A = this chain, B = another copy of it.
């Protein structure tokens, strides 16, 4: 669907401002134990300003996503700290929704611009975990699950997603090779992304010979522990036009939903209704249909998470996305390219940065500025999930 068709479609709130992504900035993702989140976010924000002609004084509000700087740096209250790191004097609020922190921050930014509260918002996120060591980071990440009912019972995230994968296999089938093909695909995409944590391809031998992490998940089913930051400058249509900014990519839909924090309270371990609800809201909001989507970035913290995301979003029926990568439907040249950035698996997952980073990557994809960009992609969807999908945000972008 072209932009013109969408614009002339009936929109429920005709008075709202369009929300343009007029600047993007990403650090490379990787292991930077000596870099503070302030340092990382400052770099991402600097890049976002360099990619746009927006003056720092024109930023009206900052939303910043971070998950566990209290644990990694004994640093809370990062809103004003990050505004300062970005050289911006504006009110700044930190949003935390575990791995969906900056997805939730972007949602606040979208509403802020859409409703005319702000003309320009700086939004993004950062995370630093490698300074905590692997055990410390694993314990820190566990704060996204239920501390009382899950973590005290010994579950960490690889274990929680292994439970979901096992439930999926039991109900719908699937194999280690099917999951492996997702990792192989995402590594292949990441190999072309100069900002990715892992810029190398893997093959099925690597997958099958890898050590087990939590059965049925093995090393290449798991995203890495990454440090990094992301920043977006979003501006209203009015501001973008007045200032001659490139408003070619807009965020046209936003959705958010929640679920019980603990897996024990879910009806089904291998379905993620929060994803479905957030997607429904985002599509209603955007006034485009799922068939219009040309490229997708989903929250593949584990390979099985990509499967559940594609089903939850509605691209596949339950039980069918497990074969999507195996059947080459979600590869770069497939009918629905998924995680062209490399995904969390290969691009990396600096938790608080991920949601806004997905949008930054999608902006490049839609503009054709990404090495993996398909030709003529016009509509992209990003899906960011917290914990075991206890919180989700979905955003729809259009060129």
Contact = CB atoms under 8 A, between A and B. Distances in A.
Contact of A90 (B77, B139, B258): B258
Nearest to A116: B13
Nearest to A89: B258
Interface stretch (A210-218, A259-267, A324-332): A259-267
A110 to B, nearest CB: 10
Nearest to A77: B98
A195 to B, nearest CB: 26
A77 B142 contact: no
A333 interface: no
Interface string A74-114: 11111111011000011111111110000010011001100
A71 interface: yes
A15 B14 CA distance: 13
Contacts of A391: 77, 79-80, 91-93
A13 B148 CA distance: 46
Interface residues of A, number: 59
A265 B76 CA distance: 18
A84 to B, nearest CB: 5
A76 B96 contact: yes
Interface majority SS on A: helix, strand, loop or mixed?
A: mixed
A81 B15 CA distance: 35
Nearest to A258: B80
Contact of A258 (B79, B257, B265): B79
A74 B151 contact: yes
A387 B77 contact: yes
A28 interface: no
A36 interface: yes
Interface string A249-260: 000000011111
A64 to B, nearest CB: 10
Most buried by B among A77, A111, A258, A391: A77
A72 to B, nearest CB: 10
Interface in A278-305: 278
Contacts of A140: 70
A260 B84 CA distance: 6
Given A68-B70, A93-B108, A115-B115, A261 B144 contact: no
A143 interface: yes
9 closest A-B pairs by CB: A77-B98, A76-B143, A115-B115, A91-B256, A80-B258, A75-B147, A70-B70, A80-B390, A81-B261
Interface of A: 13, 15, 36, 38, 67-68, 70-71, 73-81, 83-84, 89-98, 104, 107-108, 111-112, 115-117, 139-140, 142-148, 151, 256-261, 265, 278, 386-387, 390-391
30 contacts: A13-B116, A36-B148, A38-B148, A67-B76, A67-B77, A68-B70, A68-B76, A74-B139, A74-B143, A75-B148, A76-B144, A77-B143, A77-B144, A77-B261, A79-B258, A80-B260, A80-B261, A80-B386, A80-B387, A80-B390, A81-B390, A83-B258, A84-B260, A90-B258, A91-B257, A93-B97, A95-B96, A96-B96, A115-B115, A115-B117
